[in-house]
A = this chain, B = another copy of it.
């Protein structure tokens, strides 16, 4: 079984208006090649679902590709606030639904477990319940009097995940933090994996429990070296402060941002690596 395809072909399968859950977390292992390709192909009206979102959400908001964001967090961590997320929130340029870290997990897990909701106490006593109309309050059916939050199932059309290694059948190994990626892979109707390197199945199996995404959940896989850049992908590379600085400078001014987007639209995944100095240039700055 061979599920290998290009990132262009993956993204071509995503219609306008689709809902997408992204793997990774903040500045780590975000499927950025996919986010760029969504911009290149001019996708519109997307619903993005993230736990700890960052540059992927910000880029797509900045490109006008987004209708709605479901999120527990969107930011650039140590680099500050996400500029387009901030702007879009403040100007009402898209719909936003604030969840929390565990409720995003629970929403995906509800879909995985084929139930319409999962209960939690998380969110009680906060204003998340006031601003997020997706949740319901329910009583403990066993009569304790405890009130609970019913978290509805999240049903993303697509999951996009970037991993260290995968095989052609879609088995995938993540060597560092797995974040929500295994959950996203199981919950989405269609799951696409990009990887730093394709390896033979017998090599992939050697990663043992690091091979945390099983092929039965995966519909397509693409080898995209530096596919998480400018976010990091441990242990291969760390996040690229230079690239983020450029991004933040561009985002600060409309004309520069338009030029930045033009460049995103022009560069194929291979050209993108060349633009950043090729493998040698990137490794010199980013390998650890």
Contact = CB atoms under 8 A, between A and B. Distances in A.
A120 B116 contact: no
A142 B117 contact: yes
Contacts of A204: none
B141 A117 contact: yes
Interface string A102-123: 0000000000011111111100
B116 A142 contact: yes
A288 to B, nearest CB: 19
A271 interface: no
Contacts of A119: 115-119
Contact of A209 (B138, B146, B209): B209
Contacts of A116: 119, 140-142, 144, 146, 148
A208 interface: yes
Contacts of A150: 141-142
Copies per complex of this chain: 2
A1 B229 CA distance: 41
A209 B116 CA distance: 31
A136 B144 CA distance: 14
B142 A141 contact: no
A98 interface: no
A146 B110 CA distance: 14
A210 interface: yes
Interface string A133-160: 0001010111010101010100000000
A115 B121 CA distance: 7
A105 to B, nearest CB: 10
Interface of A: 113-121, 136, 138, 140-142, 144, 146, 148, 150, 152, 208-210, 212
20 contacts: A113-B120, A115-B119, A115-B120, A115-B121, A116-B140, A116-B141, A116-B142, A116-B146, A116-B148, A117-B119, A117-B140, A117-B142, A118-B118, A119-B119, A136-B141, A138-B141, A142-B150, A208-B208, A209-B209, A209-B210
